[in-house]
Structure 1
Amino acid sequence: MIEVRSLTRRYGSVVAVDELTFDVAPGVVTAFLGRNGAGKSTTLRMLLGLDRPTGGTARVDGRAYADLPAPLHAVGALLDSSAPHPGRTGRDHLRWLAASNRIPSRRVADVLRLVDLSADAGRRVRGYSLGMRQRLGIAAALLGDPPVLLLDEPTNGLDPEGIRWLRGFLRDLAAEGRTVVVSSHLMGEVGLTADHLLVVGRGRLLADMPLAEFVAGQGGPRLRVRTPEPERLAGVLRATGAEVDLAGGALAVGGIAERRLGEVAARHGIPLLELRRDGARSLEDAFLALTAPVPTAAPREEVARP
């Protein structure tokens, strides 16, 4: 169990994390989402004791990370796949971590096998591809067989086979009762892997709910429209306030009813080849809608007084 209470981090006048409060329960895969600069990495670093909070607390099983007697036995983390020394072999990197955390050396062979890196364990890390470095980072996170896993962009650099393996592996770990937190920008992959979402924006918590509930709540029905004049129709619809995306020669339209869309197209003499409901929005649509930057009002001009 992860418990975050009023967690805050300021860098001078900049508030990177602003009063975050949430729990992460075991038994599900929780995705930690946010746009670049939303505060995700800073939050994870505070959970791991790498950054000191300006205020609030972040605890794992009731303790701050620095107070855990055997950290790698409690929390496994992957924040930066470039962390291993490039001159060490993959096997020696894991041996060093195991020895410094009183983990039996036989565990090294186990995790190398789990991440399919046994054949390359004797190579120096400087010769690893990005995907191999990711696998090594995942192996290091698993070394202490921890009940809590924090993985930042774990699919980065993995090939399709590796991504599929990781997806199933994370779900298996959650099914064992572990607490699994994954930060990612790949919405499609998150939709296939995660059960629960934490969404942050500008350092604040925007959503804490099951994935299916999030998509249903943020995304309304969309319309699929095909026309010989997609660019023209898109401009006309946007002028009415509708949301329009061009995808594969068709328009995905939200914020307008079918009848109203038909009337607008007819008034402008734009023929429609297809008009139908396209179901609920995707996770990506819902995420972008929730985290869209709020436009700032232009400053008012001062009126000269006589």
Structure 2
Amino acid sequence: MIEAHGLTKRYGKTLAVDDLSFSVSPGKVTGFLGPNGAGKSTTMRMILGLDNPTAGHVRIAGKRYRELRHPLRTVGALLDAKWVHPNRSARSHLAWMAKSNRIPTRRVDEVLEAVGLTSVADRRAGGFSLGMSQRLGIAAALLGDPEVLLFDEPVNGLDPEGILWIRQFMQRLAREGRTVFVSSHLLSEMALTASELVVVGRGRLIAQSSTEEFVARASGSTVKVRSPQLDVLAKALRAEGAELTETDDHLLVSGMDSPRIGEIACQNAVVLHELSQQRGSLEEAFMSITGDAVEYHAGAEPDGTADTARALTTTAP
């Protein structure tokens, strides 16, 4: 388990992380989301003892990172897939890491097999593709068979097959009872991967909840209704206070749940062909909730000739 309490980090006049508290529980994949510059990487570095907090603290399995006698046996991390000497082989890179934490040498071959790198274990890591480097980074994180795992942008630059592999791998680790904390900008992928979310903006906590609750709270919901008697049903629903959006073949109803819509249809002898809940996407929810924490938004160019989607970047207050 990871527990952060009042984490604050200043770099001179810049406040990168501001009184941030959250927890990450075992047995599930927890996504760590926020616009660029929201403090995610700084937070992960503080969790791993690479940066010291200005205030507050964070504990892994009840201890600060520096208190862990053999840290790789408790926590594994992938922060930079290219963090490896280019002239070392994958096997030698993992072997010196194992030796530094008194991990049995046999574990090197076990993790190489787990991530599918056995056939290239003796090749120089500098010649690895990005996907292979990501796999090597995951192998290093797994080396000590840790109960806590942190991944920062693990699917960057990967093809669809590689993304699917990492998604399934992280979910399998969570099912084993491990704590899995993953940061990513690919919101569509996080919607498929993470069951819990920690969302930050300008270094502060915006939300911590299940992915489903986050989307429902931020985007609300509507009910799609199809019927051969839409006019009759629309009139009845409006009389009961529902808000409607009408199209040629269906209604979108807000302000009323499916059971009540069904009851009104029955009372008015209306035949229903579809009655389905419609929810927004994680991307829509994220944009809605983090809007105040983003410096640049999609909008018109200064000359008004085109709309552009600008990078999501955040500046500390």
How far the C-alpha of 1:220 sits from its partner, in A, is 2.1
SS in structure 2 opposite 1:81?
coil
Report the counterpart of residue 286 of structure 2 in structure 1: 287
Maintained 8 Å contact 1:134/1:157: no
1:105 equivalent in alignment to 2:138: no
Maintained 8 Å contact 1:6/1:21: yes
SS in structure 2 opposite 1:97?
helix
1:32 equivalent in alignment to 2:32: yes
How far the C-alpha of 1:158 sits from its partner, in A, is 2.7
- Please list every run of 5 or more consecutive structure 1 residues that lacks an aligned counterpart in the other structure: 225-256, 263-271, 297-306
| Counterpart residue identity of residue 142, structure 1 | L
How far the C-alpha of 1:198 sits from its partner, in A, is 0.2
Report the counterpart of residue 217 of structure 1 in structure 2: 217
How far the C-alpha of 1:221 sits from its partner, in A, is 3.5
How far the C-alpha of 1:164 sits from its partner, in A, is 1.6
- Aligned-partner Cα distance in 2 for 1:40–1:193: 18
- Aligned-partner Cα distance in 2 for 1:294–1:129: 35
Q: Deviations over 1:179-238 (max 9, x none)?
A: 0101111111111111100000000000010111111100124699xxxxxxxxxxxxxx
Maintained 8 Å contact 1:258/1:275: no
Maintained 8 Å contact 2:202/2:293: no
| Counterpart residue identity of residue 289, structure 1 | S
Maintained 8 Å contact 1:39/1:200: yes
TM normalised by structure 2 equals 0.76
How far the C-alpha of 1:150 sits from its partner, in A, is 0.4
Maintained 8 Å contact 1:26/1:177: yes
Report the counterpart of residue 161 of structure 1 in structure 2: 161
How far the C-alpha of 1:159 sits from its partner, in A, is 2.5
1:175 equivalent in alignment to 2:183: no
Q: CA RMSD for the aligned pairs?
A: 2.0
- Please list every run of 5 or more consecutive structure 2 residues that lacks an aligned counterpart in the other structure: 225-242, 253-276, 296-317
SS in structure 2 opposite 1:91?
helix
| Counterpart residue identity of residue 162, structure 2 | G
How far the C-alpha of 1:157 sits from its partner, in A, is 2.9
Structure 1 residues 128 and 276, CA, compared in 2 at 3 Å: closer, same or farther?
farther
Structure 1 residues 49 and 202, CA, compared in 2 at 3 Å: closer, same or farther?
same
How far the C-alpha of 1:84 sits from its partner, in A, is 0.3
Q: Deviations over 1:94-130 (max 9, x none)?
A: 1111111111111111111111111111111111111
TM normalised by structure 1 equals 0.79
Report the counterpart of residue 194 of structure 2 in structure 1: 194
Structure 1 residues 183 and 58, CA, compared in 2 at 3 Å: closer, same or farther?
same
| Counterpart residue identity of residue 205, structure 1 | L
Deviates more, 1:208-217 or 1:164-173: 164-173
Structure 1 residues 59 and 223, CA, compared in 2 at 3 Å: closer, same or farther?
same
- Aligned-partner Cα distance in 2 for 1:58–1:181: 14
Report the counterpart of residue 12 of structure 2 in structure 1: 12
How far the C-alpha of 1:275 sits from its partner, in A, is 6.5
- Aligned-partner Cα distance in 1 for 2:294–2:10: 23
Maintained 8 Å contact 1:198/1:209: yes
Maintained 8 Å contact 1:223/1:275: no
Maintained 8 Å contact 2:215/2:285: yes
| Counterpart residue identity of residue 170, structure 2 | L
Maintained 8 Å contact 2:201/2:293: no
- Aligned-partner Cα distance in 1 for 2:81–2:173: 21
How far the C-alpha of 1:281 sits from its partner, in A, is 0.7
| Counterpart residue identity of residue 280, structure 1 | R
SS in structure 2 opposite 1:279?
strand
Maintained 8 Å contact 2:35/2:293: no
| Counterpart residue identity of residue 285, structure 1 | E
SS in structure 2 opposite 1:131?
helix
Deviates more, 1:168-177 or 1:140-149: 168-177
SS in structure 2 opposite 1:293?
helix
- Aligned-partner Cα distance in 1 for 2:293–2:207: 17
| Counterpart residue identity of residue 118, structure 2 | S
Maintained 8 Å contact 1:27/1:175: yes
- Aligned-partner Cα distance in 1 for 2:5–2:114: 35
| Counterpart residue identity of residue 24, structure 2 | V
Report the counterpart of residue 300 of structure 1 in structure 2: none
Report the counterpart of residue 303 of structure 1 in structure 2: none
Report the counterpart of residue 94 of structure 2 in structure 1: 94
- Aligned-partner Cα distance in 2 for 1:45–1:212: 28
Maintained 8 Å contact 2:33/2:184: yes
Report the counterpart of residue 243 of structure 1 in structure 2: none
- Aligned-partner Cα distance in 1 for 2:109–2:251: 55
